[in-house]
Structure 1
């Protein structure tokens, strides 16, 4: 019965709590870069695509600091961002843990790479559906200032207006590319779990750990390398879906596109293939520390819960 021990009411709740906390901390820390990324994503002009990516990020940062209220401007939209990330990571890790538990394991009690991807994809799809309205509000707050005509002034006001003015259709704008984005988590977690599995096998082969310690805690540098590497692979592979989602959710660009296919065609025609990668620089800059914080908090909380499980 040792596998049923938990720190909270269940092992799955342990995973959800660890994910919730990790998502909240990392998102709050990296929100300014997230906002700059979204503004690049919804910029449909061809001209902006020719700016140096890193230079454009720095100029955007300076412009917000100078013209939008300094720190307050950089953290506009942080409430839906933090709520969305915390809810996403909480739902995601709970679902990921629950699905993996009910999968058939090999003779060593381990899952195959494709099973990690399936579990991650299923958990990601459910999470995307549950949290999409939050991301719509976040996109609209991050792409406007408080003085922009018609801008949402807060998360609660944004939610009320979204529901009353646009209904269910408005709440689920960008849902199709968001479901495309489920592959992001699938690729990331498959790579992450496989790297952890490979490292534990190497430690066992070298005699560093006993046969019964397949899931022994790794060192902080090992977690950092694995988290960063898996996120880079997933980010570069699946990034265009984020641009599509932002364009469809943004109030200023939503009526320019009749759907996902039309959005893809127009971006390709006007902005070229690089248009699908707008905002990649601030995204990568944000993703690396954000991912490291998320996984370090998640893994350390998970290990703490295991040690103090009852």
Structure 2
């Protein structure tokens, strides 16, 4: 009996050791899963909404807002006087879209897609992996799944992602602002990056990083609202089927897309000015130097409404982009989790 008890004790101890050893492996698998799911979601959204990204960037740029516009001409005896407006209203989304097509061709609507695809997968992958990992740690020390956990997790993930991928987004912005006539060769991503390095050095790749950090507020608002809506979806699903979590059926899929769209709309409208400031900071030249200086300069020269230039294009692009990205991410995570 004593020998049997000893063998049983050793078997239990061995099982306990195996569980402890398996925990890091499971944690590593979870991180890789979130990296893969986030990358897939971000890539799908970027490809489908690239033309609107180009239009939005052009609208945010000072290249449209600082070009004088002739309003009328007054003829006086021996004198011709033109009245000029220093800050003309920016064109609408459709008008600018049509102008780009007519003057530059359809390929210009996909300018910057290369850096976007290079950057969006690692950016979203880093973001979702950081968010998932940080949230897991905060859940262990704070009230699990509380708003404080979601806020801190989103902030850490946003800062991490922005810091590591800012050079890619700077190159993308420069490419999208480069207007070329039809048939004229545009700069490649590598040529653009080399030009930035030669003219501005390594620091040039981090222009606009302060605005990206300010944009973390948008990410925080987005994820707090999204997590709350997702919890409501989960609760309603539990009330119908208590033994299941969200399953990848069409009802839940579109529910997650709706939650992502609503949360991103609210966040974008509140935090949008940082987008305009970031685009101005990434423009070539030294006119815009810092976050506060750019904010004051834009408001002084163009008025407060200039901080919302391109908002409509941003929403038209961002809502489906975020809905596609978040729903794809959740679907892949659930599908992989259920098969592992």
Q: TM-score, normalised by structure 2?
A: 0.80
Conserved 8 A contact 1:146-1:153: no
Conserved 8 A contact 1:181-1:242: yes
Question: 1:9 and 1:129 mapped to 2: Cα distance?
Answer: 23
- Which residue pairs with 1:39 in the alignment? 58
**Correspondences of 1:95-134 after superposition (within 5 Å):** 95-105=130-140, 110-134=144-168
Conserved 8 A contact 1:41-1:279: yes
Question: 2:153 and 2:112 mapped to 1: Cα distance?
Answer: 31
**Correspondences of 1:231-250 after superposition (within 5 Å):** 231-250=264-283
Q: 1:9 to 1:118 in 2, by over 3 A?
A: closer
Shifted more, 194-203 versus 18-27: the winner is: 194-203
1:158-207, CA deviations, whole angstroms, 9 ceiling, x for partnerless residues?
A: 22222233112201101111100011111111111111112223333x34
**Correspondences of 1:145-294 after superposition (within 5 Å):** 145-146=179-180, 153-204=187-238, 206-210=239-243, 213=244, 219-251=252-284, 254-294=285-325
Work out which structure has the larger RCO, using CA pairs closer than 8 Å and 6 or more positions apart in sequence: 1
Conserved 8 A contact 2:264-2:319: yes
1:63 and 2:99 matched: yes
Conserved 8 A contact 1:244-1:263: yes
Note the aligned Cα RMSD (angstroms).
2.4
1:84 and 2:124 matched: no
Q: CA offset at residue 111 of structure 1? A: 1.5
Specify which structure has the higher proportion of strand. Answer: 2
Larger Rg computed on CA atoms = 2
1:87-145, CA deviations, whole angstroms, 9 ceiling, x for partnerless residues?
A: 210110011111112123599x8320111111011011011010111111111100113
Conserved 8 A contact 2:34-2:333: yes
Q: CA offset at residue 152 of structure 1? A: 6.5
**Structure 1 unaligned residues grouped into runs of 5+:** none
Conserved 8 A contact 2:218-2:268: yes
SS at match of 1:257: coil
**Structure 2 unaligned residues grouped into runs of 5+:** 1-18, 67-86
Conserved 8 A contact 1:84-1:134: yes
- Which consecutive segments of 4 or more residues in structure 1 shift more than 4 A? 1-6, 213-218
Conserved 8 A contact 1:201-1:214: no
Question: 2:222 and 2:60 mapped to 1: Cα distance?
Answer: 22
Conserved 8 A contact 2:55-2:93: yes
SS at match of 2:192: helix
How many residue pairs end up in the alignment?
Answer: 294
Question: 1:192 and 1:115 mapped to 2: Cα distance?
Answer: 13
